[in-house]
Structure 1
Amino acid sequence: MANVNNQKILLQQLKRNYNLCKYCLKRHIPSVRVTHISDQENCFICHGMMGNIDIINSKILSAVNNAYEFDSFLIGATIPTEYYEREDQIRAKFKIRGKENIKIQLIRELRKKFLKITKTRLDFLMPDISINISIDKNNNVEVIARTRPLHFFGRYLKKHRGIRQKQTKCISCQGKGCLVCDYSGLSGYDSIEGIIAKRLISITEGQSPKFTWVGGEDEESIVLGKGRPFFASISNPRNRKVENNFKFTENGIIVTLRRKSDNVIGSSLAFITKIKILVECDRALTKSDIENLKVYGGSIVKFETKSRQFSKKIYSLRIQKIDSNRFAITVITDGGFQVKQFIGEREYAKPNISNIFDSNCRCISFDILDVDIQKHFF
C-alpha cells in the first residue's frame, strides 16, 4: 500500500512540474492509473511523438503492405537524443530508477500494434523483414524496410561454348547496386552469372545477387554431368514465397535451383572434378609417350603461382590418341585443378605434360564432364 501511495505522490509531483503525455507518465509510474491527458502534443519529453503511435504505425504499414511478403518481423527505432536527455533530467530530479526508456516503450507499442494488424509474428533472430523508423526532433518519420536475403543452392549445365561464367560489375556502383544497373550490381546479363541473376531478380523482386562458384571453366568450355554447383543469395527480396525447387533453360544454359535455409557454405568446400582435355604437342607422339603419361594416375601435382603453392591429386587418368600429335586426356581430380598449368602452358606445375613428353604442348580446349561436392552444407 505504501508503494502505491508513493506512486500517487510521484504522479502528482510530475503533473505539477511538467506537462507529460499519458505514455510518458505511465512509463514512470506503471502501477498507477493515468487519466486522460488532453495536451499530448506539448509533452515535455516526447513533444507528442508517443501520441502519434497510430500515425507512425500507419506509415509503417503503408511502406511494407503490398510491397513485401513476410511471415515474421522486427521493428527498431532511432529517436532524437534530446528525448533521452529530457527523460533523464526528470528521472534524476525525482530519483526514478529501473524504468524502461522512451525508445523501448515506443518500439514495444509499435510492435504490438503491427503484430495485431498483420497477423505475423515477432522474430528477434531471423525476421523476414526488418523495419527501422527514424524520427527527427520535429517528429517527422522515415520508414526503412529491408528483408532477409534468400539463399539458393544450384547447378548449371552449359551445352554451348562461348558463354563466360562471371559477369563484370556495374562500373557505376562496383557491384553494390544502383539505378544504372537496376540494383543488380552487374554490367549486364550475357554470362552464366548474368542469366541466373536476372531470373532470381525476376522471381524474387530482389537486389544485388551474390554468387559463390564451386570451381570455374573457360568461356569455350562446356559443362556436362550433374552440372557445376554454385550458391547464390539475393538481397532485400520483396517476394519470399518462391518455389523450393525450380528449373529453367536460357541460351543453352540449364539451371536447377533450390532454396536453402541459410547461407552457411563452409570455409573450404571440397569437390572432385572430371575433366576432358584436348591437347596438341609440337611433335608426333609415340606409344612410349602415352604409356609414360598413364603412370601419373593417382599422383599428386604441385602447382605454384605468384601468390601461393598448392597440390591437387589426380585420382584417375585416361588417354585417347586422336592423331599423330593430338590426344584427349580424361582426368578425375581434386577441385581447383589448374588444367593449363598441368599441360605446361602457364606458370609452374610438377609434373606437367610438356616436361613428361619433353615437348611444347598446348591445351586446345577442356570440358567439365562432372563435379561432385564431397562435403554437404545444405
Structure 2
Amino acid sequence: MFKIKGLPNIKNHYNNILRSEIIKVTGYSIDHLNPDIRIQVFIDSQFNYSIKYTTRSLLLLGNYNKYKRGLGQRFSFNNTHNNKKKDHEENQYSHFTIEGIILEYLYVQSGSKNIKIAWSGSEDKNSLVLGNGRPFIVKIDSPHIRNIQQIFEIKGKIRLIFQEVQIEDINKYYQYKIQINTLINIIEDNLDEVDLEKIVSKLIGDIRFQINNKTIKKKIYSTSFKIIDNKNFEMKLLLDNGIPIKQLIGGKEFIEPCLSKLINKKCECLFFDIDEVILNNKNGN
C-alpha cells in the first residue's frame, strides 16, 4: 500500500530520515539491536494512526538492610477459587513487606508500569539484615526515568542501595556467603554435660539437604558459640547463602549434619540475624 515499485517503502524511508536526524543532533550511534527508545507508528486502512513507544529496560543491582523485626520479604498469596491473589489491592504496595517498599519506591522513581524482582535468597521475617545487605536484581521495563536515586532509607526500618548492572554480570550476585548470629534454645533437657565446643565444630564442612526431592550441597566455613544459661546459647556461623537455618538447628526435615542430632537433644532456633554478606567474587573464592 505504501510502497512505490522500485523504491524503498514509506516505513523504511521515514526510519532512515529519523535516524539521520537523531545522529546529526545527538552525535549518538544508534544500536539497532538494543535501542534506547523504540517508537512504533500504527496506521490503519482509514489512515487513522497511533504512536507507541518503549524505552530500553533498566537492570539494577539492589541491596537491602533490614533494621526492624517482623518485616517480611515478599507479598503473601491466598488461594481463592484456584487463583493466586496478592494480599494487597492492585497498584497498592504495602510497607509491611520489603517487596512492597522496593516496588513503591521504584515505580515512583522510574515511571515504569512493569517492574520485576529476582531474589537471591530470603530470611525469616523476624531476622535483621545488617552489614552490606542482601543483594537482589531488579528489571525495570520501559522506564521513563533512568537516573534512579541510588539510596533510599526509612529510618529504623530499611535501607536500599541501587546501581545499574549488565546482564552478563548478574550471576555473581547470587553466589555469596553470610555471617549469621543465632539464638538457640534447648527444648528438651538442658546443656549440662554437653561439650558444645566439640559438637558445634562438627557443623563445619559440607551440608546436605533437600529441596523438591533434589539434594543440595552447600558448606559451613566456621562456627563459634556463647552460652547464655543452661538452656540457651548463641551460635555464629559463616556459611553459604541458601542453607535453611531453622532446619539446620531443629532438623524437622532432612539435613545433615543437624545440631539437634549432634547434641542428641531437641533444639530450636528462636531467631537468627544476618550480620554480613560476603560476595564470593570479592574474596577470591
TM-score range relative to shorter protein: 0.7 to 0.9
Match of 2:108 in 1: 202
Match of 2:42 in 1: 134
> Structure 2: how far apart are the matches of 1:240 and 1:219?
31
**Relative contact order: is structure 1 or structure 2 higher (C-alpha 8 Å, sep ≥ 6)?**
2
Deviation per CA, 1:317-367, whole angstroms, max 9, x where unpaired? Answer: 111111111111110001111111111343111110111111211111111
> Structure 2: how far apart are the matches of 1:241 and 1:305?
39
Aligned residues: percent identity?
A: 28
Match of 1:363 in 2: 269
Shift in Å, 1:264: 4.2
Match of 2:130 in 1: 224
Secondary structure at the residue paired with 2:281?
Answer: coil
Given that 1:224 and 1:368 are in contact with CA atoms closer than 8 Å, whether structure 2 keeps it comes out as yes
> Structure 1: how far apart are the matches of 2:184 and 2:29?
60
> Structure 2: how far apart are the matches of 1:110 and 1:353?
67
Shift in Å, 1:101: 4.0
Match of 2:180 in 1: 275
Report whether the alignment pairs 1:190 with 2:96: yes
Shift in Å, 1:161: 0.1
Change (3 A) 1:346 1:187: farther
Higher strand proportion: 2
> Structure 1: how far apart are the matches of 2:234 and 2:177?
19
Match of 1:292 in 2: 198
Secondary structure at the residue paired with 1:341?
Answer: helix
Shift in Å, 1:109: 3.5
Question: What are the equivalent positions in structure 2 for 1:48-197 lying under 5 Å apart?
Answer: 100-112=8-20, 122-168=30-76, 181-182=90-91, 188-197=94-103
Given that 2:131 and 2:275 are in contact with CA atoms closer than 8 Å, whether structure 1 keeps it comes out as yes
Report whether the alignment pairs 1:265 with 2:173: no
Q: How well do the aligned residues superpose, as a CA RMSD in angstroms? A: 3.1
Given that 1:312 and 1:334 are in contact with CA atoms closer than 8 Å, whether structure 2 keeps it comes out as yes
Secondary structure at the residue paired with 1:265?
Answer: helix
Shift in Å, 1:213: 2.3
Shift in Å, 1:169: 7.2
Higher helix proportion: 1
> Structure 2: how far apart are the matches of 1:174 and 1:237?
27
Change (3 A) 1:117 1:268: closer
Change (3 A) 1:357 1:280: same
Change (3 A) 1:303 1:151: same
Computing the radius of gyration from Cα coordinates, the structure with the larger value is 1
Shift in Å, 1:287: 4.6
Question: What are the equivalent positions in structure 2 for 1:272-351 lying under 5 Å apart?
Answer: 272-281=177-186, 282-351=188-257
Residue range with higher mean Cα deviation, 246-255 or 153-162:
246-255
In the superposition, the TM-score normalised over structure 2's length comes to 0.84
Match of 1:76 in 2: none
Change (3 A) 1:101 1:129: same
> Structure 2: how far apart are the matches of 1:286 and 1:136?
84
Secondary structure at the residue paired with 1:153?
Answer: strand
> Structure 1: how far apart are the matches of 2:11 and 2:52?
17
Secondary structure at the residue paired with 2:171?
Answer: coil
Match of 2:159 in 1: 254
Given that 1:270 and 1:374 are in contact with CA atoms closer than 8 Å, whether structure 2 keeps it comes out as yes
Gaps of 5+ in 2: none
Shift in Å, 1:255: 1.6
Shift in Å, 1:103: 3.5
Given that 2:194 and 2:263 are in contact with CA atoms closer than 8 Å, whether structure 1 keeps it comes out as no
Change (3 A) 1:288 1:174: closer
Given that 1:296 and 1:314 are in contact with CA atoms closer than 8 Å, whether structure 2 keeps it comes out as no
> Structure 1: how far apart are the matches of 2:168 and 2:75?
21
Shift in Å, 1:266: 2.2
Given that 1:345 and 1:362 are in contact with CA atoms closer than 8 Å, whether structure 2 keeps it comes out as no
